[in-house]
Amino acid sequence: MLKIGVCGAAGRMGCMIIKQIAAQPEIRLAAAVEIAGSQKIGIDAGEPAGCGKLGVNISAELSKVISACDVVIDFSSIENTLKSAEICSSSGKGLVIGTTGFNDEQRAKITLLAKKTSIVLSANMSVGVNLLFKLVKEATKVLKDKDFDIEITETHHRFKKDAPSGTAMKLAHVVADEKGLDLKKVMVSGREGMTGERPKDAIGVLAIRAGDVVGDHTVTFGALGERIELTHKAHSRETFAKGAIIAAQFLKGKTHGLYDMQDVLQIK
């Protein structure tokens, strides 16, 4: 039986993950962690998740409960996730990272830590979104020399802290890599005033924040006379929770290495 720890256990994603774990007999919640000072520390982790008592109290320190885990799933914050990565690396425990917004230096640190343990780092845990990554790559390959402009639009709930979303940035990187461009030089994240004609190699990435939208992403390929749109819409966080658990199961038996969800789903 796979024993899973959850960081960010009382948050929206943490509760959804715990609910999914409780519903599957082949896995077990082994630990639950929240930030120091949280009012949820000390209570049974099943209570915030709405699935009754699970016999696992929420802790303030991953280091004190890591020995009970085979794999840790972390959807907390950048700072706390980096700490989780250090703890998992030093203890040889697998880690699934669903937190987004890492900069290049932070991603490099995670890559280094993955030399001592196995880590899945993904901008999005959804099966559908990871298929979207593949479809966008193939569409870009076909259209990159055919005078198509490429724009990415994403919409999320008002509580999301980073923008553009990690998924939108991953999509932008997929497009830029396929076209052989440096994303930092061609990405446009806002337009105002007399901007002039759209540069040929620009990749637009627009973030919208409104209400309780779980996550919508659209990649538009526009030419003179026609337009292609590839869209994914998430209706529930359940899809991300299920993907995170699939990733945790993928890491079972793996000793080290950095993976993403396309590795997990074998759709690269």
Contact 219, 136 (CB under 8 A): yes
Which one, of 224, 220, 180, 226, lies nearest residue 204 by Cα?
Answer: 220
115 is catalytic: no
Q: Which residues pair with 74 in a beta bridge?
A: 7, 97
**DSSP E strands: which ranges in the chain?**
2-7, 27-33, 58-59, 71-74, 94-97, 118-121, 149-156, 187-188, 203-209, 215-223, 226-234, 257-259
Structure tokens at 143: 């259209």
Report the alpha-carbon angle 152-144-219, nearest 5.
15
Burial state string for 194-223 with b = 16 or more CB within 10 A and e = fewer than 16: eeeeeeeebbbbbbeeeeebbbbbbbbbbe
Residue of 3, 109, 144, 160 marked active site:
160
40 is catalytic: no
Structure tokens at 103: 């900069």
CA torsion angle for 67, 260, 156, 237 (degrees, to 10)? Answer: -50
Residue of 40, 156, 170, 242 marked active site:
156
Structure tokens at 107: 């991603």
Which one, of 258, 240, 249, 247, lies nearest residue 96 by Cα?
Answer: 247
**DSSP E strands: which ranges in 76-127?**
94-97, 118-121
List residues with catalytic annotation: 156, 160
